[in-house]
Structure 1
Amino acid sequence: MFEPFAALVAFTPLVIYLFVLAICRVSGRTLVWSGAADTGAVLLAISGLVIVGPIELFFPKATAYLLGAWVWLPLLFLYFLFGCLWIINSRTSIVVYGRTSEQLFPAVLKAAQSIDNTATGDPQTLQFHLPKAGVHLRLDAAPMHDCVKLIAFEPLLTAAFWSTLSVHLRHEVAEVAAPRPRRGWAALGLAILITAWLVEYVSNEPQLLVDGFREWLVR
């Protein structure tokens, strides 16, 4: 079992991430952001688990003896650099939560036509062609799943293109009705269970929580 403070560090970011996405999906709202932001959110969500796992396992005790609690700054900065490297090397995309690919298809087509009025789409393959812009897009998602990724076949599209497409897509998605039944209940239930367990576990051992905090700061 985790010690109380380690459990708090490990699961708090994950619970926040689950609550945000679950409430967004259950309430019928949409969340449209870049693939980089989505990857960054996932890295933040698992940051607590990384801290009590790999970082704790390979903790530089000799450096901690010299720097004290300040040793956490270079360690967290190293994780930040790792996240930046992952994001830079990941494929550029737009991620939409709260709508299925079938619901999202007309909105993406309208957003594409706002950029290129000759844009066309194929509902069978969920692909789009923007002839004037020289761009081919496709929706990548499991059937009836409400997390959809919009990616391009061309690897080197400009940031301005993705930004413009994202703005138009947010406008069009706002007009799309929420899926029935709503998704996100499982994630919401999991977040509530983890929160309830965490509160009970930590509140039953307040002294261990304080001692654990001191041990993490003073090495």
Structure 2
Amino acid sequence: MFEPFEAAVAFTPLILYLICLAAIRVSGKAWVTTGGRDTAAVLSAICGLVVVGPMELFFPKATAYLLGPWVWVPLLLLYFLFGCLLIINSRSKLVVYGRTSDALFSALVRATNAIDTTAVVDHEQHQVYLPQVNAHLRLDATPGHDCISVLAFEPALSDAFWRSLRIHLKKEIRLTSPPYPRRGWAAMGLAVVMLFWLIQYAAEEPSRMVDGFRDWLIR
């Protein structure tokens, strides 16, 4: 289905993403990031698939005749700008990997108390209200999963609030325990299998890898 070079371009970013994400979950550590950074990581993971898919399908051959290999600069810049547009227009939130909803909510309660001592907690709905900030926070989670989003009902909370919440949440989440059994083994196994297949596929005929790279640049 893919030539060796195309397979390397398509799957290398995805494999690296899966390995990093699985390593965090298997190690028992928690990773707290923003929604924009999480979206950027996903876009980086699928960039290879986009290059060998839509970019190849709608490749501007006339422009490539004029620019040569430099035609990839505007194409990749267009994808970068599209990613920036998605991130800018995405909803503000925090994303946490490596903790279940119960463990994360206990850390969230302590983090919000550090920001607003009058915070009102709803344990049944996994929601917290901060009167001084006028913010209602909730967890967007599936029971048993260890990838959880912290969302706000208000769409226009300041970046300073989210920055403060992230700092306090990272501090408090260190006091929680990782889920048992650990998640991430399936993703790690899939990434290792994909990496082994990719190396074996590329090593079978190295000349095809070189030819594929040459054909990819020179149209």
TM-score by length of 2: 0.99
Q: Quote the Cα distance in structure 2 between the aligned partners of 1:2 and 1:118.
A: 58
Q: 1:120 Cα deviation (Å)?
A: 2.1
Q: Tell me what 2:149 maps to.
A: 149
Name 1:201's counterpart in structure 2: 201
Q: Which residue of 2 aligns with 1:134?
A: 134
Residue pairs, 1:138-177, within 5 angstroms: 138-177=138-177
Greater than 6 Å deviation, 4+ residue runs: none
Alignment deviations for residues 38-64 of structure 1 (CA, whole Å, 9 cap, x no partner): 000000000000000000000001101
> SS state of the match for residue 138, structure 1?
strand
Q: TM-score, normalization: structure 1?
A: 0.99
1:32 and 1:170 in contact (8 A); partners too: yes
Cα distance in 2 for residues equivalent to 1:32 and 1:197? 32
Aligned partners of 1:80, 1:154: CA distance in 2, in Å? 29
CA displacement at 1:90 relative to structure 2:
1.0
Unaligned runs of 5+ in 2: none
Residue pairs, 1:24-35, within 5 angstroms: 24-35=24-35
Which secondary structure state, in structure 2, belongs to the residue aligned with residue 149 of structure 1? strand
Instruction: Name stretches of at least 5 consecutive residues in structure 1 with no aligned partner.
Output: none
Name the CA distance, whole Å, in 2 between partners of 1:120 and 1:211.
Answer: 63
Contact 1:109 1:120 (C-alpha < 8 Å) held by counterparts: no
C-alpha distance after superposition, 1:17-45 (max 9, x if no partner): 00000010001011100000000000000
Distance 2:8 2:123 in 1: 46
Where do 1:4-43 residues align within 5 Å?
A: 4-43=4-43
**Identity in percent:** 60
Q: CA deviation at 1:121?
A: 1.6
What secondary structure sits across from 2:72 in the alignment? Answer: helix
Alpha-carbon contact 1:140-1:150 (below 8 Å) kept: yes
